[in-house]
Amino acid sequence: MSKKIKKAIISLSDKSEIKLILNTLKKYKVNLISSGGTSKKIRKLGYKCTEVSDYTNADEILDGRVKTLHPKLYAGILSKRENKIHKKQLKKNNYKEIDLVVVNFYPFEETLKITKDQNKLIENIDIGGPTLVRAAAKNYQYTTVLTSPLQYKEFILDIEKNNGATSLELRKKLSQEAFNLTAYYDSVISEYLNVKNNVNFPQKKTIHGNLIGVLRYGENPHQQSAIYSRYNDLGISQLNGKKLSYNNYNDIYAALNISQTLPKNIGTVIVKHANPCGVSVNNSKIKSYKEALACDPISAFGGIVSCNFKVNRNIALELNKIFLEVIIGLGFDKDSLKILKKKKNLRLIDASKLGRQNSANINSNFDSLLIQSFDNKVFTQNNFKVVSKTKPTKKIFNDLLFAFNVCRNVKSNAIVLTKKSSTVGIGSGQPSRLDSCKIAIDKMKKFQKINENDIILAASDAFFPFIDGIETLVQNGVSAIIQPSGSIRDKEIIKFADKLGIILVFSKTRHFKH
């Protein structure tokens, strides 16, 4: 069912592309109603319009807070055109049907990015705009609603095709987009107020996001997938390669989560299936990458490398020696791009402008949401206690913190073995912590040349419930262990460590990652 457009109300914060739509509305002799800055813009462009206050015979009041909230407008938007009672009531009140609503909202989200001034933010909460949009969207059988300049071209094509009318198909689509927008707009405001009032888990939770892209598929080809962001971008940019997949994004974020915890401009992370398979911190960028790769070069094949620094020519030459899916850098110089772009499918990601920290983890199953704060606690010496008689040097203590930091980003049960701030063995995702120990040890023996003078450290994401795990590690060269406390056998574990003469450090926090 097409619907002729005779009268429109226009109220815009974003007035870009307005001339495009005004030309079309003039062509079909549509009468325009507008207010404030929008009416001035329309007249400046040479088009006629009636001021809202003249149309309603009610002045704008309260510094513009009340201008479009009037029954003459809403009756015209919401009336059912074939309903005799509605037609009679419109005629009685001398109200006219309004067939088109063109509105976008006060820029609350944009204002939030540039100021914390609560008064400015409150004044950028739009009331009239969303109300107009919701009314028009509800009555889509008769009324058309436009909420973005991005919709103008589609609207113009439709109205041209239907000789001054819009199709029901378009009106349905625009209604759906309108309600998505009002829900999103309100959710941004809701989240702002939750944060301001320190409410982490409100009674009603809304999660907003902008569609960044529909992906080829999810974890597997039969699954549909898309990526959204709370912002208008992801904070990272792709410089080369095939379109990113669901699994690529999952691995990229796993790598970035670790990279962001490393010292500034130092360190390399290699990830495979969202688990680190090599991490190293070294002032030499080349050594950092080579040491991370050496931890598990087989798993690194087809993996993701995150360089916590700008990628240069020398690093690019090394990276180019094996097959990788994705390389992340805090920027790439011209020479490195020239080298790496020779592999047309290699995805290059610039994360130099990311600057964001994870605020929450969200997991969804069976139409429920599990939400938790992110495990981004910054470790300090006060978070740990040396419980063994043998005490660590400052260097060993710092290396233990490095191991523990990596460990919290490994799927539980997690064991990480390190040497000189580089991983040498990682055991992940096992139901048994002892099995994780054995896997980490096997990796170390397979890929590392360990001599008797090397100091091997171990980190565990949770406490060892029995001495068997620690015994296995020590038998294979580990001389210092860092683990959370909390076991009923903590005293037994400490006694055993002292018997072996190893260093044992307890963390006050556990770091499961499921």
210's CB contacts (< 8 A; 6+ apart) are 184, 228, 229, 230, 231, 232
290's CB contacts (< 8 A; 6+ apart) are 318
CA distance 357 to 373: 11
CA distance 58 to 45: 26
132, 177 Cβ separation under 8 angstroms:
no
> In one letter, which amino acid is 436?
S
- b/e per residue 464-501 (b: at least 16 CB within 10 A): beebebbebbbebbbbbbbbbbebeebeebbebbeebe
222 carries an active-site annotation: no
511 carries an active-site annotation: no
267's CB contacts (< 8 A; 6+ apart) are 259, 279, 280, 281, 282, 288, 308, 309
> Of the listed 138, 205, 287, 445, which one is catalytic?
138
Going across the sheet that includes 347-350, the strands are 237-240, 347-350, 326-329, 304-307, 268-272, 275-280
> Of the listed 86, 87, 242, 273, which one is catalytic?
273
Q: What is the CA angle 349-354-359, rounded to 5? A: 125
Q: State the catalytic residues.
A: 138, 273
